[in-house]
Amino acid sequence: MDETARRIRGRLVDMSHRAKTPHLASALSCVDILVAAYWGVLRIDPALPQDPDRDRFILSKGHAATALYATLAQRGFFDPALLDSFAADGSPLAEHPAPRCAPGVELATGSLGHGLPVGLGIALGCRLLHRSYRVFVVMSDGECNEGSVWEAALLAAAHRLDRLCIVIDYNKWQATARSNETMALSPLREKWQAFGWEAVEVDGHDPAALLEAMGGVPHPSGRPRAIVAHTVKGKGVSFMEDDNNWHYRVPTAEEVRRAKEELGLA
């Protein structure tokens, strides 16, 4: 998994450089969560991306789209060569995922605060259809500023949607400031607990911890699950880690080289 995560991180650096797109640090921050999900948790078959019984995975922090695209490609949903077209004229892979843009992309995201309530609806549908798939939604900490997140938090708990799971990529930054200085997010796990969720805190870069937390869905308590995953923005590239300039900055060719070297991909 570590090897897979490193290769995906390398791709993200390349994609940001080539397409001159921002949000590299936000994408790097959630890679381990996506790798744990796609290689260790989700019941999915890349050959059957529309299988009605598949687990649903929603990257609600749509600005980290490169992480989703690179993960899906690596997992076999589509040809990794398609990643080279990212954000280019005519490419299906845009800076924010569009509806049905590529196999495995469940939802058009980019406007924060949509992934959870839509996932909630999918989980309700799952119950109505008497199916057993699960719905995983990855959100950012900044996204928890959105009122719609807390509307859905209340509703999912009321319906005891135990097949719904969120993973919050808690990297302590939002676009322009520290997330905890912008809004009083902390204590985040306790908030979700108080909202009626089965909430845990994990190291968001520890595959074993992520596998255990996500693998335990549905939880025997019958509650929806919230995983507060402590992460580092820009994870994997020392000079990007916890430096919020990389929310928008695009790496130069030299920075790409250095990043690849650090990732052992040189």
Q: Which residues bind another protein (CB under 8 A)?
A: 98-100, 106-108, 110-111, 113-114, 116-126, 128-129, 147-148, 151-152, 154-155, 158
The residue (of 147 and 220) whose beta carbon lies closer to another protein is 147
C-alpha dist (Å) from residue 123 to 162, 169, 198, 215, 242? 9, 21, 16, 17, 34
Least distance to another protein, CB of residue 150, Å? 9
Determine the residue type at 116.
L
Least distance to another protein, CB of residue 135, Å? 8
H-state helical runs in the chain: 2-19, 24-29, 31-36, 65-74, 115-128, 147-158, 179-182, 188-194, 207-215, 253-262
Least distance to another protein, CB of residue 50, Å? 11
Least distance to another protein, CB of residue 60, Å? 11
Least distance to another protein, CB of residue 22, Å? 20
The residue (of 159 and 178) whose beta carbon lies closer to another protein is 159
**63 contacts 113 by C-beta, under 8 angstroms:** no
Scan for tokens 């897979």, then name that residue. 4
Task: For residue 165, give both structure tokens.
Answer: 């799971």
* Interacting residues of 257 by C-beta distance below 8 A, sequence separation 6+: 266
Parallel, antiparallel, or unpaired: how do β-strands 164-170 and 198-203 relate? unpaired
The residue (of 62 and 204) whose beta carbon lies closer to another protein is 62
* Interacting residues of 222 by C-beta distance below 8 A, sequence separation 6+: 160, 162
The residue (of 113 and 142) whose beta carbon lies closer to another protein is 113
Least distance to another protein, CB of residue 209, Å? 28
